[in-house]
Amino acid sequence: MAHGAEFDAIRDLLAEWGPLASGIGDDAAVLDVPTGERVVISTDASIEEVHFRRAWLTAEEIGARAAAAALSDLAAMASVPRGLLLSLGVPESWRTSLTQIARGVGRVAASVECPIVGGNVSSADALSLTFTVVGSALSPMRRRGAKSGDIIFVTGTFGGPGAALGALMEGRTPADAHRRRFAAPAPRIAEARWLSEQRAVAGIDISDGLRGDAEHLARASEVSLVLNGSSAPRVAGVTAAEALASGEEYELLVAFRPDELPDRSEFERRFGLPLTAIGVAVPAGDDPVVITDVGVEPGGGFDHLRR
């Protein structure tokens, strides 16, 4: 590798990643995909002052959070990660933080067994992390598979990132539980694979908010979704409306046929997360998403689906 500041930065990144960095050194990465599987590719960017502020997060958290957001797109498709490429735009003021950023990226990549197979480093006016993630699946889960009568489930709990962001924007210290959900999301790769194996027929990861991403799935599937707001699982200290609006959750919203529902207790045993039935698909109407019972406590209209 040649000399110079950018090549020195790449050497620092590779030193931090160690064996996790795989096959780096050529002009492009070469990936093996199991016979019969389809390739799933996504790209995602995290930019300073757009997606994060330096005062809010450590350098390691910035790297980890950005990697989790990118890999969550593979989870949405129930695909196995095969490789990650990272293009870094680095201002001079961030040069000494590259190792910490790399540590965060590496920690999340390792958690889902995703090798880091390439990338680029260049100077920039603001820190940016642009990921290309590659996965594969025999049958990728799509947004467009839901039909009227399907039951809608979500993984995890909601509201933490929105509550943390609101506090930070107002100059307040977020609650610890809220900050953890904001600063350290986890891509639900294994969870999505399990749900797909249990015959989930449609899915999406929740980055734009539960209500917003439910609308994306509804429109793609040409149905409407009726969601029970009181059934939306939420962290302590937030309302149902706040949980429905909170973005950057990186949980999953999936649809199942009513005669092929997943074993929710088995899901929780495996992953330590709730799997909650929150709604039903109905024929497409004027509103792609209809929210009911937002003002009441959890435990509303879908308890009969509990296992």
CATH code (residue 10): 3.30.1330.10
CB 232 within 8 A of CB 243: yes
For residue 254, what pLDDT is reported? 98
Residue type, position 122, single letter: S
For residue 6, what pLDDT is reported? 66
* Sheet bearing 223-228, strands edge to edge: 202-206, 251-256, 151-155, 275-283, 223-228, 289-292
Q: Which of 109, 137, 165 is the last residue of a domain?
A: 137
For residue 298, what pLDDT is reported? 40
For 20, the domain range is: 5-137
CB 261 within 8 A of CB 151: yes
Same domain, 195 and 120: no
Same domain, 241 and 174: yes
What parts of the chain have a pLDDT lower than 50?
1-2, 295-300, 303-307
Query: How many domains, in total, are found in the chain?
Result: 2
CA distances from 76 to 73, 123, 253, 267 (A): 5, 32, 9, 17
Contacts of 18 (CB under 8 A, 6+ apart): none
For residue 5, what pLDDT is reported? 61
For residue 172, what pLDDT is reported? 97
Same domain, 212 and 87: no
Same domain, 179 and 132: no
Q: Which of 137, 171, 186 is the last residue of a domain?
A: 137
Same domain, 234 and 288: yes
Same domain, 158 and 120: no
For residue 187, what pLDDT is reported? 98
Same domain, 161 and 238: yes
CB 254 within 8 A of CB 203: yes
Same domain, 129 and 157: no
